[in-house]
Amino acid sequence: MRRALGLFLLAVALPAKAQTMDHSQMDHGAHEMPQSETSPAAGAHAGHDMGGADSTVPKGTPPPAPTDHAADAIYDPAVMARARAALTHEHGGMTYSQLMIDRLEYRAQDGRDGYHWEGEGWIGGDINRLAIKSEGEGEVGGRLESAEVQLLYSRAIDPWWNVVGGVRQDFRPQPDRTYATIGIEGLAPYWFEVEGQLFLSNKGDAHARLEASYDQRITQRLILQPAMEVNLAVQDVPELGIGSGLSDVELGLRLRYEFAREFAPYVGVNWERKLGDTARYARLEGEKPAATSLVVGLRFWF
């Protein structure tokens, strides 16, 4: 009984004594932070505040990259230099290429069925690329309504955005046009793919185009993609059936299934509407200014 009482008093006394410890005698030198200069970019990651983290960086410049390599003490330095150069080349210095047919589809409409294509091929590196883009549409068993090809130089200005510039050639509708073009493309916040271009033709008419799309993954293979395209014109171009201002809008919703990342059939719906004087020109040609299509198509790349 006396031993149990002693153990109980010891258990009560120890925490009380621990709480009254004098921390002023402890050595905190190992935890002191160096004097630093405030940097607006420090303490943040991709634009997100780290919630009270110390957003500072040490003063001074970083030390130079080392020029001596431990492997050179064992292997031939010339051989190791070639190996390091090859490694650098294969991790960002290589020339890559891709051909992406984003849409190759059949469009079922009231009164007339049609087809549509849209694709891009490019070659280059991480910073500089040469690209060829094409899109167009027509009636099944009928005339080709529109067809264009763009030859573009693309340069990355940061990890998310590219500036593009080049020429665009329209083969349909007639009369054909040649345009100088400049634009920007990339990945906007929340993973929206965005592209905007300005066009100036050899006849002096100016146009603009804005495109946006978003891949919503339902599963790892099933993807729902809403897409939008808006075209504007600075002036009337009656010979091409284009009116000034907002000339046409196209909205689409496509559901694709990726059997492989490089091969994905899809189904969906597409709605397009000509506006303003562009709609008036279409009516004069006996066309409807608006159309809704059920689409089935294929997306592939290599």
Identify whether 19 is part of a domain.
no
- The count of other CB atoms within 10 Å of the CB of residue 185 is 18
Identify whether 271 is part of a domain.
yes
**Which CATH number goes with the domain that contains 154?**
2.40.160.40
Identify whether 3 is part of a domain.
no
The pair of three-digit structure tokens given for residue 80, joined into one six-digit string: 């190791």
Question: What is the pLDDT at residue 58?
Answer: 65
Question: What is the pLDDT at residue 53?
Answer: 47
Identify whether 247 is part of a domain.
yes
Identify whether 22 is part of a domain.
no
- 181: closest CA among 200, 196, 195, 162? 200
Identify whether 10 is part of a domain.
no
Question: What is the pLDDT at residue 268?
Answer: 98
Rounded distance between C-alpha atoms, residue 161 and residue 40, angstroms:
22
Identify whether 70 is part of a domain.
no
Question: What is the pLDDT at residue 151?
Answer: 98
Identify whether 129 is part of a domain.
yes
Question: What is the pLDDT at residue 55?
Answer: 54
pTM attached to this predicted model: 0.73
- Average pLDDT along the chain, 302 residues, taken 10 residues at a time: 48 44 46 42 41 58 82 92 86 87 95 93 95 96 94 96 98 95 97 98 97 97 98 96 97 98 97 96 93 97 96
Number of domains the chain is built from: 1
- The count of other CB atoms within 10 Å of the CB of residue 69 is 12
In terms of residue numbers, what domain contains 253? 96-301
Question: What is the pLDDT at residue 56?
Answer: 64
Question: What is the pLDDT at residue 41?
Answer: 42
- Give Cβ neighbours of residue 12 (< 8 Å, ≥ 6 apart): none
Query: Helix, strand, coil % (nearest 5) of the chain?
Result: 20, 50, 30
Question: What is the pLDDT at residue 3?
Answer: 53
